[in-house]
Amino acid sequence: MEISRRFALKWLAPISLLLAGVAIYLPAMDLMPLIRAEAMYALIPKEMLAAGHWLTPTLNGAHYLDKPPLLYWLTLAAYKIFGVSDTVARLPILVLTLGEIWLTYLIGLRLLGRRAAWLGGFILLSSVGFFALHLQILTDHLITLTLLAALYFLLRWQEHPAFRWAGLFHLALVAGFLSKGFIGIVFPVLIGGLYAWHMRQRRLPSLLFSPKGLIIVALLAVPWFVAAEQANPGLFKAQIINEQILRFMGHRQPPDTNPFSISGFWLFLGLWMMPWTVLLPEGLYRFWRETASGEPEVRRRRLLLIWAGVIMGFFTLSSGRIEYYSLPVLPALALVLGWRLDRYFQSPRDRSLSLALIAVAGLGLAIMVLLPRLEAICGDNRREFIGMFEMIEPIADRASYAIPAMALLGVLGGWRFPRVNVASYMILSLLLIFFTFKTLTALSPHLSDQLPGRYLCQHAGPDDLVVMESIEEFEYGASLAFYARRHILMVQRDGFPQFPYPVPAEQNYLITPDRLKELWEGPRRVYLLVDDAAPPTDPYLLRSRVVLVIQGKRLLVNQPGDFCPKASRFKTVASLK
């Protein structure tokens, strides 16, 4: 009986978190199409699978040298087992999501205790940003997972300095390197080094620079890098020099079209942690004060603050920051908030959670005012966000009533029974996730090219050409190419899009406006996807036939043809007026 009880205490908490993660994330992933910002991570392994080549990534038929291959390999393996589809492309992300939740709990268990660890895990999986970003395929999920793994193995080595923990720590570094380059090594080593300095433990640096561990890194990372450089000359310059060092310094070529300002980057960190963000200032202050104790078991908790500070400091100094680069910070902040909620249970007269719920209610009431301002910030950064508020206004209107109502009910119920505040806050976080999913669903036709891609799959012949207009970065054409199941061409205007490295002529799919006109007036049928936020002004395009209209986009064709009856499920118009 005692064994069963210990087993339940040990496994029930983390398993409940994983089950909640599957229940929340799996249905949402299955329903979301691949959007432009992520579809390259589905298209590249699809092309690698078709080519039978695991060493050379290609995107739309051209060599793609910007990112290391681990995420491609995971997706490629999923394709080989389950077949190629957008849902299968997201299966590795589901596994990574559950791994991040699990490791967050394990780190919290060693630093904070079981209840705080569970609360931290729940806060993480119920945060708006963690949810929204984990519906996308991003290498940053691998960076977060490998960082979590490295820090967990560091803690285990600190408690028991056996080689297995040192070996696993360095394996996590290799996985981080194969996920996103040197940043996968720099973050764990820098955080671990500052943690060693903070703890004043001289033996900790011996983990970071363990000879056996460094041999593991060299044996696993160097052969891939050498083989990849031989197969793709220029990979080192493109992937390490241009994408990492020059991007950090703001000298990447071509220049980033979507770097965020420092204030915008920090603003998005607050948005990603919603609705828990309002607890962060007071929680961080209390955590800082309590962990100032001289006892090692208390002082080691400052690993969470070092962790968050290193990553936010790194990207604050960087010139190439994107809104989701703060993703690896979320587990650390979630654990700090888990610790704060655990302390709340021990202080029945603490009204801070009630005040936080009142603040969330106020933010809910202000949604209709705040969202247009958020659209302006995002629209200045990326054109795809222009017109966002109009698309989600009905959802925002419902949220502006539901969120304050739920928050105020929690305040009323928790005034006499403080534990009700915690339950209400958790329910509120799930409600906010629901509205986030509804928002993403409403925006997905605009952010994804699933509908025009499927239309082309049904109607375009094998000799027809598909061209994309008004695209800022060539990676954003991957959604159309994935769903259309063919390579596409892209029109280069005002220098964009452009490749950051030389591309052979036979692989170059960027065409000039003059070449587009030649193709349009030639004998072959040409389909052209245009963006309403940057419509073409060429006179010959203004007179073209429109075969598909969706949110913010139109699909034009230069010649009439035999259209399949299935087209009736799409909205079509006869001509452009």
pLDDT tens-digit profile, the chain (577 residues):
455 556 556 788 889 999 999 999 999 998 999 998 899 999 999 999 999 888 889 999 998 988 889 999 999 999 999 999 999 999 999 999 999 999 999 999 999 999 999 999 999 999 999 999 999 999 999 999 999 999 999 999 999 888 899 999 999 999 999 998 889 999 999 999 999 998 887 788 888 888 888 888 888 888 888 888 888 887 777 777 877 777 777 777 776 656 778 888 898 899 999 999 999 999 999 999 988 877 888 889 999 999 999 999 999 988 778 888 999 999 999 999 999 999 888 776 777 888 888 888 888 888 888 777 777 766 666 666 666 767 777 888 888 888 888 888 888 877 777 778 888 899 999 999 999 999 999 888 888 999 999 999 999 988 999 999 888 888 999 999 999 999 999 999 888 888 888 888 889 999 999 999 999 989 999 999 998 877 777 888 888 888 998 878 899 998 876 544 343 333 332 222 2
Q: Count other Cβ atoms within 10 Å, centred on residue 533.
A: 15
Q: CA-CA distance, 567 to 32, in Å (whole number)?
A: 22
Cβ proximity of 558 and 546 under 8 Å = no
Question: Which residues in 61-216 belong to E strands, given as ranges?
Answer: 62-63
Rg (CA), the chain: 25
Write down the number of H helices and E strands in the chain. Answer: 26, 8
Q: CA-CA distance, 385 to 367, in Å (whole number)?
A: 17
Two tokens, residue 116: 């705080």
Q: Is 495 left (phi over 0), alpha (psi -120 to 50) or beta?
A: left
* Parallel, antiparallel or unpaired: strands 526-531 and 553-557: antiparallel
Order of all β-strands in the sheet with 545-550: 510-511, 489-491, 465-468, 526-531, 553-557, 545-550
Cβ proximity of 372 and 389 under 8 Å = yes
Two tokens, residue 40: 């390259």
Q: CA-CA distance, 59 to 149, in Å (whole number)?
A: 30
Torsion of CA 15, 17, 18, 24, to 10 degrees: 140
Cβ proximity of 181 and 239 under 8 Å = yes
Query: Which pLDDT value is given to residue 66?
Result: 85
